[in-house]
Structure 1
């Protein structure tokens, strides 16, 4: 199985281009990121070309984090802002050869107005992304880490995909979030695999390296492989120490 280094959490002591180089040196097969917008796309492309690594995905900008925003797309009255961030993310993805854009929902009251806002924004996002051959991802995020996040359950994401009906709208299946909110990971993955565009891993409950805690990735990763999932799995965890490299023993253990 191959793995993608999420540079939102890994190698954060380095610039984003140097993080790509560090991921290659560590043995990752791909990279992904959160919010790369302060880095020139040309600098990203230089590092990607040099290393031969693909950039799998990036997120829409979350908005004003200091004000508690964690995405805009399901927030009533913020449609124009959300669409502008989708445009920016898609343009950046095209400029860097990135394949997927994660559209962040944001914190809402969970009501029908928020749900309709999210449907409207995702409809725009899928049409905008399709013109460049991109996939749009939506990610259920747990309410322990992000209280009030609009999208928190896999089946909620499935319902959105059914309602919108766009073939390039897919689920970001983050095992960490799904375990906290719902559990039953392998069966839930098996049931909705046709809608899953990307998988991420981290330990539960501390979100550290995926080598301890209540999830056994020694079991989960081979199960995903047996179900036919062959794309790189995103390592989106927060290193327990200050040195990303020091905690990478799991990578060789799971890569066989």
Structure 2
């Protein structure tokens, strides 16, 4: 017997983490075979978006989100949206992401701000770029996502707290910009997960999960995901919950193990 929560929210496979050693189209097949109905991706841009759309259609998978490019990884870029003096580069890369997302039928784009810089200038740059991107997708079934990352994994990232990400949404004043609430990052960087979930629920567009502190399957570690899932149901969250964790064994068997242990279905 499954909890009533399954009627409001569903679990998706994060293909940046799960089956990451396989080609992207094979990962889609694996997600389907494991029982997932939704998938999310990081940087799928070397694969044809129309091909991805076709495979998702054939397998009855919903493609949720993709990330904007990190920039030049050789120099340590972690995103471009808050990088002062690089607006043209960000806008070009965002347009590429948007074109890909539209053709692949993705409905969300995670906009990466990148490294922290001069606080005020970076803030203004990010807000300006977000408003520009928000205008581009106005009237479409497309949402921009903002995700704060914990200071241990990303010490010099633009933002580390849910509240900092939310303040960007407030500054933009747009209803197509929402939070990506990653329980792993919140657990690692801030704690008080359930209260933050409750407070921020109206602004949340997507949720991700993994154990704390190891970033493994959600039945491991110190966060009691039964309580998190129960809260999502009580708060009537109607979106997807992305499984963005490092698999420790055969992914399909591991998914079966933890979904049974936590009494949730895909």
Q: What TM-score bracket applies, with the shorter chain setting the length?
A: over 0.9
Verify the 8 A CA contact 1:136 1:168 in the aligned structure 2. Answer: yes
2:3 match = none
The answer to whether the Cα contact below 8 Å between 1:110 and 1:148 also exists between their aligned partners in 2 is: no
| 1:245 and 2:252 matched | yes
* Contact 2:116–2:159 (8 Å) recurs in 1: no
Q: Select which of 137, 143, 160 maps to 1:135.
A: 143
Written as runs of structure 1 = structure 2, the 5 A alignment for 1:117-196 is 117-196=125-204
Among 240, 261, 264, which residue is 1:255 paired with?
264
How far apart, CA to CA, are the structure 1 residues paired with 2:139 and 2:231? 35
Residues in 2 aligned to 1:16 and 1:130: alpha-carbon distance in whole angstroms: 29
CA displacement, residues 2-41 of structure 1 (integer Å, 9 cap, x when unaligned): 2100000001232211211111110112000000001011
Shift of 1:193: 0.9
Looking at structure 1, the residues matched to 263 and 80 of structure 2 have their Cα atoms a distance apart, in angstroms, of 36
The alignment's TM-score, normalised by the length of structure 2, stands at 0.92
Q: Which moved more, 1:56-65 or 1:124-133?
A: 124-133
Q: Residue 222 of structure 1 aligns to a residue in which SS?
A: helix
2:17 aligned with 1:35, yes or no?
A: no
Residues 1:212 and 2:212 are matched in the alignment = no
Q: 1:246 to 1:67 in 2, by over 3 A?
A: farther
CA distance in 1, matches of 2:224, 2:30: 27
Distance change (3 Å), C-alpha of 1:89 and 1:49: same
What is the CA–CA distance in structure 2 between the aligned matches of 1:162 and 1:176, rounded to whole Å?
24
Kindly indicate whether the alpha-carbon contact (under 8 Å) linking 1:152 and 1:181 is maintained by their aligned counterparts in 2.
yes
In 1, Cα distance between the equivalents of 2:177 and 2:24?
Answer: 27
**Quick one: which of 83, 86, 96 aligns to 1:78?**
86
Contact 1:10–1:238 under 8 Å retained in 2: yes
Cα distance between partner residues in 1 of 2:30 and 2:94: 29
Give 1:110 deviation, angstroms: 5.3
User: Is 2:231 the counterpart of 1:203?
Assistant: no
**Partners of 2:75 and 2:56 in 1: CA distance:** 34
Extract structure 1 runs of 4+ deviating beyond 6 A. Answer: none
Q: How far, CA to CA, are the matches of 1:103 and 1:240 in structure 2?
A: 29
Residues 169-228 of structure 1, C-alpha deviations (whole Å, 9 max, x = no match): 000000000111111111111111111000000011111111111101121111111110
* Shift in Å, 1:101: 0.3
CA contact (8 A) 1:29 1:232 kept: no
Deviations 1:81-108 (A, max 9, x none): 1111111111111101100000001012
Distance in 1 (alpha carbons) for counterparts of 2:35 and 2:234: 23
Contact 2:210–2:245 (CA under 8 A) maintained in structure 1: yes
Residues 254 and 122 of structure 1: CA distance in aligned 2, closer, same or farther (over 3 Å): farther
CA shift digits 1:89-144 (9 cap, x unpaired): 11111101100000001012351111111111111111112253310000011111
Q: 2-side partners of 1:71 and 1:251: how far apart?
A: 33
TM-score by structure 1 length?
0.95
State the secondary structure of the residue aligned to 1:130: coil
